[in-house]
Structure 1
Amino acid sequence: MEYEKPLNKEEEKDEILRKDEEETIGCINKDILKNEGEEGSLEEVEGESEEEKLIEEANEYKFKGNELFYQEFFDEAIISYQHALDISPLRAKHERSIYYGNIAECYIRKGLWKEAVEACTNALKEEPEYIKALHRRAKANEKIGTWRSLEAALLDYEDMKKSLLESSPIHKSIKESISRIKPMLSEVQEREKTQMLNKLKDLGNNILGKFGLSTDNFKAVQDPQTGNYSISFQK
């Protein structure tokens, strides 16, 4: 079974956080901004000012995390991004989605696929249309390689295909991922089904063995007319 080639750190490093600063510098969550020309009370203005300060402070931790990421100090970068999450206002959903997304990328670089999936899911809770987080979650689920995770990866890839324009630089790779996963999904599903049946058979033999029997003494017989199965006993 073939999976994606390992991430090429040198080729992807600049792309990972290339637009990160652009997405955050000067970007304060719209939910906490006043509409133009609208006047508010002194308490509201002070409250907004405090939230803006918290976002600026959180972004400082994010920028520090980015520097650590570039140096491949992924554990330290995760801690820095987590600090950003801890102090950022809950209403700053755009910024928080980026922090979670960067944590996910660190986990991907460490090969911690389940943790990456969880971080991406948190990012998408903050900003459901965050394509970068959706893409990272799909890649991480594909690496996990179970039937359930491959099915989740396929759903994410298909959602991205619907959302992205054909001119998108990743549209082609998304289509290739979908074509790659579909046969993998069928193969893994059959393998996991066989493994489950073998475990059930072993369990049955352990129980039946106490009575001098085994699962080989029982045979499933299909009725050719109805298609239903019945169990017959064989000595």
Structure 2
Amino acid sequence: MASPSPSTANGVPPNLLLNPRAHILSSSEAPLSTVPSTNGFAASSKATDTSDPLAPEDEKSLLEQILEHKSTGNTHFTSTPPDYEIAISFYRSALEICPPSLAEHLTILHANIAAGFIKLERWKEAEDAATESLKASGEDDDLLRAREAKQRMREQKERKEREEASKDGGKGKAIDSAVGNSEGRIEELDDDEEEGNNVEWGKNWKARLRRAKAREMQNTWQSLSGALEDYKILSTRSIRYQAIPSLDHKAIQLALTRIPPKLEDKKQKEVAEMMGKLKGLGDTILKPFGLSTNNFQMVQDEKSGGYSLNFTQNLGK
């Protein structure tokens, strides 16, 4: 009798089937990222090798296995009761053999993993998975910021040109705009700008929404700042975001109202905590000299707005 398939034996995902540490899944505190892969598919090396494109028949074979693992993961995700940890492991098994050419499937698998970690309330892992999903879909944050920076620079340049044109009465600029620039050349779009314009911002709104929630739930100054940024993008980005269901739209608007005061409060507390630690360190260093940080006071100059450090020897005497 043939041995059972690695993807179906006992309902255990391939990357855990031969793993002696599979019991780690019973602990909700143990990150699944610590579970090493034992996936024996020969196709894995092909999936991670980007030097040569896959043959159509190889890609088709991989896709069949990917969809099988994904489907099994979905079954565990929606079962009664659900098993999110095993679902995540099946999604990861699919990721291990998913080539870069199947970017849409990479996007979905990472987003599904993020959803699983949210259900498990493992917020940092959910954030990381959602970020990978956004990268796979081409909506990388660095690319987004670079594009918006270019847009601001272009707007500043245009504003400056309009101001200069108004000083000259607008005549010279009007002529240039009609026939090209002053040297008779027609201005062309930068290649980078054209590439940026091809990015479909908003097509992966589910991953961004999941990351926003995961960041908010971490409840630190940094994570709340990131959550607020994601929620703002969700509320203002391209027309693709109009497809967001009304219930999620309402949640986004509530978050935009809820987070700013929480962010300011967390900022004040973390800054005060940091200053307290610095003060304690300073007092430890100064104690052998009979001094403390209370002997040093920051005084702001009313005219310049700058600060100076004043020393008082007999403070409190």
TM band (smaller chain):
0.7 to 0.9
Residues 55 and 89 in structure 1, CA contact (< 8 A), matched pair in contact too:
no
Query: In the alignment, what sits opposite 1:146?
Result: 220
Match of 2:65 among 24, 45, 57: 57
Query: Is 1:114 matched with 2:127?
Result: no
* 1:6-48 alpha-carbon deviations (Å, 9 max, x no partner): xxxxxxxxxxxxxxxxxxxxxxxxxxxxxxxxxxxxxx9x911
Residues 77 and 106 in structure 1, CA contact (< 8 A), matched pair in contact too:
yes
Aligned to 1:165, the other structure's residue is in SS state: helix
Query: In the alignment, what sits opposite 2:9?
Result: none
Query: In the alignment, what sits opposite 2:160?
Result: none
**Greater C-alpha Rg:** 2
Structure 1 position 182, deviation (Å)? 1.2
1:104, 1:141 → 2: CA distance?
A: 12
Distance 1:193 1:158, change over 3 A: same
Q: Unpaired runs of 5+ in structure 2?
A: 1-52, 140-202
How high is the sequence identity, in percent, across the aligned residues? 39
1:89, 1:52 → 2: CA distance?
A: 11
1:82, 1:65 → 2: CA distance?
A: 9
Query: Is 1:226 matched with 2:304?
Result: yes
Distance 1:166 1:84, change over 3 A: closer
Match of 1:47 among 55, 62, 66: 55
Across the two proteins, how many residue pairs are aligned to each other?
191
1:56-205 equivalent positions in 2, closer than 5 A: 56-71=64-79, 72-127=82-137, 128=139, 129-163=203-237, 164-165=241-242, 168-169=245-246, 170-205=248-283
Provide the aligned C-alpha RMSD in A: 1.7
1:131, 1:167 → 2: CA distance?
A: 8
- Which amino acid in 1 is paired with 2:93? H
Distance 1:186 1:166, change over 3 A: farther
Structure 1 position 228, deviation (Å)? 2.2
* 1:203-230 alpha-carbon deviations (Å, 9 max, x no partner): 1011111212110111112223332221
- Which amino acid in 2 is paired with 1:48? P
Question: Relative to structure 2, which stretch is displaced further, 224-233 or 181-190?
Answer: 224-233
Residues 104 and 116 in structure 1, CA contact (< 8 A), matched pair in contact too:
yes
What is the TM-score normalised by the length of structure 1?
Answer: 0.77
Distance 1:61 1:168, change over 3 A: same
